[in-house]
Amino acid sequence: MIARAPFGRTGHQSRRTLFGAAALSRATGAEADRALELVLRYDLDHLDTAASYGDSELRIAPWLASEGRDRFFIATKTGKRTYAEARDEIRLSVQRLGVDHVDLIQLHNLVDAAEWAVAFGGDGALRAAVEARDAGFARFIGVTGHGLLAPRRHRESLERFPFDSVLFPYNATQLRDGAYAADAEALIAVCEARGVALQTIKGITLGPWPGERPPRPTTWYEPLTDQRDIDLAVRFVLSRPGLFLNTPSDIDLLAKVLDAADRGGTRPSDTEMDDLVRRRDMAPLFV
């Protein structure tokens, strides 16, 4: 059974594995039905989507209608940076999901310095998120990020606004970059002290695609695909108290990741992770 833990200070006791609904971006109806079967089988209660995830919000809407709005903690994201654009995108997301509010609205991939300045400005996306929260369209506000600068930028964001959650890359190979590992640890310490939920992505990254990105898997990095390897990668993340693992953006890998999370286990030893990295020739996604 996948354990539950407090999702920061929100009051929600979330499964520590969250459904990354980017996997529904280009999914067929049959694939979405198969994903819902897995979500229900493993009793996931937290869905993480975004306005930019293709048909994802539309695919989730029937789940909420059939299972009940209160069955899930619903998180979505806006990638817009100005107030008006973000305001309109947040409202559209709520409509597409078929609900009167979401639980968490996140400023999506807010890392670039220029975009960060716009989003935090008087006519920026943060104003739209706060307005949505105050109007009852969202309960909480978070921020997400990709790339090497994400943990450091999140710390800067938390100095400007009391976000309820952050999301950033966390896996064994990325943490072998000493500077990134230090930034990640500093972010984790701040979040733990303030009750900010810590969401992680890219947990089963093998490395960048070595050539042109294929149509399958639908992850934008090359993922681990062998169950034994995924077990180690998932255990590496979930054995760290306080971290939540977002499932990857590929329907075909969902069952393997949830199986690994459900079985759990102790933190892999350094020797086990060294062997995995060497055996699969793994590499950091961001350099």
The domain that holds 47 is classified in CATH as 3.20.20.100
Asked, for residue 287, whether it belongs to a domain, the answer is no
Q: What is the domain range of residue 263?
A: 4-280
CA angle 26, 229, 52 (to 5 degrees): 20
Asked, for residue 15, whether it belongs to a domain, the answer is yes
CA angle 191, 193, 197 (to 5 degrees): 35
What's residue 52's pLDDT? 97
- CA-closest candidate to residue 86, choices 51, 39, 41: 51
Chain centroid to Cα 168, Å, comes to 7
Q: Is there a contact between 245 and 261 (Cβ–Cβ < 8 Å)?
A: yes
Asked, for residue 32, whether it belongs to a domain, the answer is yes
Helix/strand/coil percentages in the chain, nearest 5: 45, 20, 35
Distance CA 174, CA 207 (A): 10
Asked, for residue 73, whether it belongs to a domain, the answer is yes
Asked, for residue 285, whether it belongs to a domain, the answer is no
Number of domains in the chain: 1
What's residue 258's pLDDT? 98
CA angle 241, 285, 177 (to 5 degrees): 65
Distance CA 99, CA 109 (A): 24
Q: Count, in order, helices (H) and strands (E) of the chain.
A: 10, 12
Strand partners, 186: none
pLDDT by position in tens, the chain (length 287): 999 999 999 999 999 999 999 999 989 999 999 999 999 999 999 999 999 999 999 999 999 999 999 999 999 999 999 999 999 999 999 999 999 999 999 999 999 999 999 999 999 999 999 999 999 999 999 999 999 999 999 999 999 999 999 999 999 999 999 999 999 999 999 999 999 999 999 999 999 999 999 999 999 999 999 999 999 999 999 999 999 999 999 999 999 999 999 999 999 999 999 999 999 999 999 99
Q: Is there a contact between 170 and 191 (Cβ–Cβ < 8 Å)?
A: no
pTM: 0.97
Asked, for residue 286, whether it belongs to a domain, the answer is no
